[in-house]
Amino acid sequence: MYRAPRIDPDERRRITAPVRPRPPARPAPARSRRRWWLLKWTIILTVWGAIAGGLGLLWFAWDLPRPEAALDAARRPSLTLEDRSGQIFATFGDVVGDPLRLSDLPPYLPAAAVSVEDRRFWSHAGLDLIGIARAGFVNLRAGRVVQGGSTITQQVAKNLFLTNARTFRRKVQEVLLTLWLERHFTKQEILEIWLNRVYLGSGAWGVDAAAKLYFGVSARRVTLWQAAVIAGLPRAPSRFSPRVDPAAAAARGREVLAAMAETGAITQEQAQAASAQIAFPTRPGTAAGWFSDWASEKAEALMTPGADAVLRTTLDLRMQTVVETKLAAILDGPGAAVNAGQAAVVVLEAATGAVRAMAGGRDYRASPFNRAVLARRQPGSSFKPFVWLAALEKGARPDDIVLDAPIRIGTWSPSNFEGRFRGEITLEEALAHSVNTASVRLLLQVGGPRVVAEVARRLGITDQLPANASLALGTGEVGLLELAGAYASFFNGGMLVKPTGLEAVQVEGKPLPLPRPAPTRVVDPDLAAMMVRMMAAVVSRGSGTAAALPGRLVAGKTGTTQDYRDAWFVGSTGGLVIGVWMGNDDNKPMKDVVGGSLPARLFHDIAQEIVR
């Protein structure tokens, strides 16, 4: 019998033990080096890429402005001139309104801005890729740029902080600032910044400035259609400005109303009703350039250089428009036939000296020289009231007699315009008919030219006056504004008047005190009343009948210089003093134009329209 050999237990365990796999062979040396090289350079490039990216961002952000200064973005200092009612009629630099919160505005104004500028404003994080794609598609289909892709936040970033350069670096900076704004400001705050700082044409920055400039109201009180017009301006402020192209502004406003209806901000019915209401107020046909220059110069000493200022002036735009319209009509009509090339007019309140209208010539753009303020011309017989007042102060009265007869002073012998002498006449008749011989006699009786010159200076005439008897005939040179201001003392009961164009001044939002001279009496009230009586006779039956207004008291005085080089009428009705001068800049004679003809007629035409 066969027997298997005995196996040692240790041997059995060795034989039955599981077979272990052999360890893998070590890779070849070249293969290992390649893997290590790839890993090393991956790490190196990642590190250097991160460094380069960081340096790139640092380079892009190196000259970024401080975003915290969002509401203090640099701009030109502004000077805004308002008329007596608060309507803006002239601006210099940039116009800025009051800073407003969303809660200050009617809800449809910010809604209009969002509807037309950035419909996804409330949902995106500053960058609207969907909006960019949509704008690109719309522009491609239209064949021109009709829709922008920038969000409101992007507009705040680029308009407040960056230049207009179209570079890649600027675009990256815009993105960085946009993200910063979205992180540090709420959506409401970003929209407020945009509404207060966006440029809206004609020098207006912000919706409040635009509302005041275009509609004469605060943005707090704009209507729906006005809000739509304002919201439509940022796309092309110059083209859509109501002051530049009212028709284009109206069409753009209707586009905004349609967009608001599409977004559900308003109903279709509201959009249609508001579209039908779009009608811009008729702008006065004037920039009141001469008045603007004069009032700004007067305010200059009160203002801080480089600061924003708002001047509430005494100007009445309605009166200003009437003055410029009537002046142009006279010069272009009857004035053209008699070589009357220029004219100037001032309208001021007799009681206060507040200048309500001023025209320094026929066309400010053609000649901004202010003939009402800066020109010095001989007043002729319009200077005679100072002679008559001097006589009253010496005890004469309107019914007293003065001799109208030839008079000789050395080699000089004045004559009358009419070429005849009346003999003994009253002071009233002598003034009414502008009798030259009577004026010279009165000047001599009161003490000579020094006394009369002192009377004129007391009433506000500052120019040097001749120290001879010819002063009685107005041979000195005066300015129209000063002469009208001096006449005001006759018509206000004898109080000194200094013509003024300012009612209030604000610098950086703070009111400045205006110097208000204390009331000063310069003429006895009884004597002032006598002067009015005698000057009323000038208009009712004397040399100034062309200035008469049926049913109204009109008093004034005509003036004509030698060879018809200057013609004047200064008078008053309804509490207003209106001064008129006509002549030529080169001092050429007009053809038979006297103070009682075209100047008195222009006074009449203006007074008839402005006095109520």
What positions carry a catalytic annotation? 117, 381
Q: How many CB atoms lie within 10 A of CB 69?
A: 11
The β-bridge partners of 505 are 311, 512
Tokens matching residue 320: 């200003």
Amino acid at 419: G
**What 3-state DSSP class applies to 489?**
helix
> Is 568 in contact with 599 (CB distance < 8 Å)?
yes
Report the C-alpha gap between 94 and 91 in whole angstroms: 7
Place of tokens 């192209």: 245
How many whole angstroms separate alpha carbon 472 and alpha carbon 317? 37
HSE-up of residue 264 (Cα within 13 Å, Cβ side): 1
Instruction: Residue 576: name the closest of 597, 603, 596 by CA.
Output: 603
Which position has the token pair 């209208």?
357
* CA atoms within 13 A of residue 499's CA, in its CB half-sphere: 29
Calpha distance 611→284 (Å, rounded)? 18
Closest CA to 311 of 505, 577, 526, 451: 505
Phi/psi of residue 502, each to 5°?
Answer: -120, 135
Do 548 and 326 form a contact (C-beta atoms < 8 A)?
A: no
- d(CA 563, CA 375) in angstroms, rounded, equals 19
CA atoms of 187 and 49, how far apart (whole Å): 35
- To the nearest 10°, the Cα dihedral for 537, 541, 542, 548? 80
Amino acid sitting at position 599? P
Smallest CA-to-CA distance from 542 within 402, 387, 395, 426 is with 426
Give the separation between CA 566 and CA 543, rounded to whole angstroms.
Answer: 16
